Amino acid sequence: MSTKKQDWKIINTERSIDLKLFKAHFTHFQNPRNQKVERMIILEGGHSANVVAVTPEKNLLFVRQFRVGIQEETLELPGGIIDPGESADKAVRRELEEETGYQAREWVTLGKVASNPVFMDGYIHHFAALDITPTGTLRLDDGEAIVPEILSIADTKKMLKEGLFQHPHTISALVLFFSKLGDRFPDTGPLID
């Protein structure tokens, strides 16, 4: 198996189309394998952040909200888009408070994962917020209807194992959380049996 990086050349880029949450553009890449040029779409959506928020009782805070792409409610972690000029850690603190009315005493960076490297340019930055406490009311955007929901870590692990979470950003954040901080919760059992 070769580990040599392939040199995909950009031949041309067509102008962007504004799609509200994203801008879309086409870039023509030359395939180094066969020299053929392919027109590929790229969504420019910037970066986002989400948070595994842990209560003092060692439960996890989720949000339930309707997702238009699948036209169903999902149970997922609080988070959202990082505003221009905003750092990932500032954005995730803002999103936690806006979507749930909670703040945290301790923050841990879990890492970042490409949102969808097939056709998107952004990353999702994952954090853990430990020892969260309620501070007030939700401040939702006009397009949001969010209901916070608390689950035990054991129930969260069970749902993760059973494939019940539908948002890939929630899944990647939970896997990073349990792989990096799981030793803080030994009484809940392993993520993988």
Cα–Cα distance between 16 and 140 in angstroms, integer? 29
* Closest to 62 (Cα-Cα) out of 48, 73, 72, 47: 73
Candidate CATH numbers 3.90.79.10, 2.40.37.10, 3.40.605.10, 3.40.50.10860; the one for domain 48-183: 3.90.79.10
Concatenate the DSSP letters of all residues of 36-51 into one string.
-EEEEEEEE---EEEE
Taking the model in full, what pTM does it have? Answer: 0.90
Give me the residue spans of the domains in the chain. 9-44, 48-183
Residue 116, token pair as written in the block: 């969808």
pLDDT digits (tens, 9 = 90+) for 142-156: 777 889 999 999 999
Q: Which residues pair with 184 in a beta bridge?
A: none
Give the pLDDT confidence of 60-117 residue by residue, as tens digits: 999 999 998 899 999 999 999 999 999 999 999 999 999 999 999 999 999 999 999 9
